[in-house]
Copies of this chain bind each other. A is one copy, B any other.
Amino acid sequence: MRMAKGVEWALHTLLNLDMIGGGPAGSGQLAEAHGLSPSYLNKQLQLLAKAGLLISVPGPRGGFSLAKPLEDVTLLEVVQAIEGTARLFHCEEIRCCGRIGELSPPPTETCAVNAAMRRAEQAWHQALAAQTLAEIRTDLDGTPSTRRIVRSAFG
């Protein structure tokens, strides 16, 4: 089980867009910044736009702009924009199948296994929702040259 690499691409691209003033920047330019596949990055950018994190700006000087300040963008929003909102643990209700299922009355409550796995996943979601991209930017700004380098890369 592994997160799509698009999550890393999306996070760095949002941070880069912020460091160059919010955009717009073309998807080709955003891809070149980290040597990424333009077509695969473009799919991630479309997902971010669909999730309301980017705005697609038409025209020859268009591209993608940040839709809101990074203070308002959590890790959870970016992960769910790229990966969707399906749970990691998908309960197939096997308790209702086979010999045990045949002998059991129809369940009236959530399976205890499912509930326990859900509690753990909620802790992950809460930790993702508790961190904004602005906080990550603060960490990056600890290295003074970061902004200068990103701006130079976008020339």
Contacts and interface: CB of A to CB of B under 8 A. Distances in A.
Contacts of A127: 119-120, 122-124
A8 interface: yes
Contacts of A153: 98-100, 103
Interface SS of chain A: helix, strand, loop or mixed?
A: helix
B113 A15 contact: yes
A153 B26 CA distance: 62
Identical subunits present: 2
Interface of A: 1-5, 7-9, 11-12, 15-16, 31-36, 75, 83, 86-92, 94-95, 97-101, 103-105, 109, 112-113, 115-117, 119-124, 126-128, 131, 135-136, 139-140, 143, 145-146, 149-150, 152-153
B75 A35 contact: no
Contacts of A128: 120
Contact of A124 (B32, B121, B143): B121
